Amino acid sequence: MKRLSSALLAAGLMAMSVPALAEPYVDYTPQKGYWQINAIEVDPNHVDDYLTGLRTSQVSGFEVLKRRGMIDDYKFMVRNGYVKGSPNVMIMTHSPTSANLDADKARDKAIEKEMYAAFSKKQGDAAVAGYEKYRTFIDDAQWTAVDMAK
């Protein structure tokens, strides 16, 4: 009897631990495009400096990418609170399609030229040199949004 109870208990626990398998397009629907998210740890005493630098070094480039249809949105997020080794700034761009990842020399060179007209390579190199004193990249990944079924 004791063995039977133990076996039933074990079977019950196994049944509860089997995860339900989600079905794409039934339980959730992947959305088109993707978010490129850079998660950065910035020394908490320099977050304002970093954001000010990003305003001049990144926003003009993101606006070029928007005009060219490469991205349709961008965001900067700052975490309230600080934990060493964890990101406290995120730089996010949304691309409407993964096809934008395909190489296109003429397009890419034109975008580069337009970006350097707004913020030169020399300015970019100087900005990055300043950033490196107080930032560490934690993660750089592409994320796809999903809509959950109701």
CATH number of residue 143's parent domain? 3.30.70.100
Q: Indicate the number of domains in the chain.
A: 1
Q: Is residue 117 part of a domain?
A: yes
Q: Is residue 16 part of a domain?
A: no
Q: Is residue 63 part of a domain?
A: yes
d(CA 33, CA 35): 7
Q: Is residue 9 part of a domain?
A: no
Q: Is residue 7 part of a domain?
A: no
Q: Is residue 2 part of a domain?
A: no
Q: Is residue 110 part of a domain?
A: yes
Among 2-16, 59-73, 90-104, where is mean pLDDT lowest? Answer: 2-16
Three state DSSP letters for the chain: CHHHHHHHHHHHHHHHHCCCCCCECCCEEECCCEEEEEEEEECHHHHHHHHHHHHHHCHHHHHHHHHCCCCCEEEEEECCCCCCCCCCEEEEEEECCHHHHCCCHHHHHHHHHHHHHHCCHHHHHHHHHHHCCCEEEEEEEEECCEEECC
Tell me which residue range forms the domain holding 100: 29-148
Among 109-113, 114-118, 124-128, where is mean pLDDT lowest? Answer: 124-128
Q: Is residue 65 part of a domain?
A: yes
Whether the per-residue pLDDT at 45 is higher than 80: the answer is yes
Percentage of the chain beyond pLDDT 90 is 71
- Token look-up 């000010």 returns 52
**Which residues touch 34 (CB under 8 Å, ≥6 apart)?**
94, 95, 98, 142, 143, 144
Whether the per-residue pLDDT at 14 is higher than 70: the answer is no
d(CA 123, CA 35): 26
